[in-house]
Amino acid sequence: MKATLEEIGRASLEAIKNAAEASELEALRVRYLGKKGELTAVLKSMGSFTPEERPVIGQLANDIRMKIESAITDRAEEMKSAMMENKLHSETIDVTIPGVKVRVGRSHPLTAVLDETIDIFIGMGFRVAEGPEIEYSDYNFTRLNTPVGHPARDRQDTFYFTDDDSVCLRTQTSPVQIRVMENSSPPIRIVSPGKVFRKDEVDATHSPVFHQIEALVVDKGITMGDLKGTLNTLVHRLYGPDASTRFRPHHFPFTEPSCEVDVQCFECRGKGCRICKGEGWIELLGAGMVHPDVLAGCGIDPDIYSGFAFGVGVERLTMRRFNISDMRLLYENDMRFLSQF
Ligand code: DAH
Q: Give the distance (Å) from ligand 1 centre to CA of residue 175.
A: 10
Cis peptide bond N-terminal to 187, omega within 30: yes
pTM: 0.71
Q: Give the distance (Å) from ligand 1 centre to CA of residue 334.
A: 31
**DSSP labels, 86-121:** HHHHHT---TTSPPPPPPP----HHHHHHHHHHHHH
Asked if 33 contacts 39 with a C-beta cutoff of 8 angstroms, the reply is yes
- Report the alpha-carbon distance of residue 100 to residue 28 in Å, rounded: 50
Is the minimum distance from the CB of 213 to ligand 1 under 6 angstroms? no
What is the pLDDT tens value at each position of the chain, 341 positions in all? 778 888 888 888 888 888 888 888 888 888 888 888 888 888 788 888 888 888 888 888 888 889 888 989 988 998 999 899 999 988 888 889 888 999 888 899 999 999 999 999 999 999 999 999 999 999 999 999 999 988 888 777 898 999 999 999 999 999 999 999 999 999 999 999 999 999 888 988 889 999 999 999 999 999 999 999 999 999 999 999 989 999 999 999 999 999 999 999 877 888 988 778 899 998 899 999 999 999 999 999 999 999 999 999 999 999 988 988 889 999 999 999 999 98
Ligand 1: which atom is nearest the Cα of residue 288?
Answer: 13
Is the minimum distance from the CB of 307 to ligand 1 under 6 angstroms? no
Residue burial 304-328, b: 16+ Cβ < 10 Å; e: rest: ebbbbbbbbbbbbbbbbbeebeebe
Helix (H) or strand (E) holding 196: strand 188-197
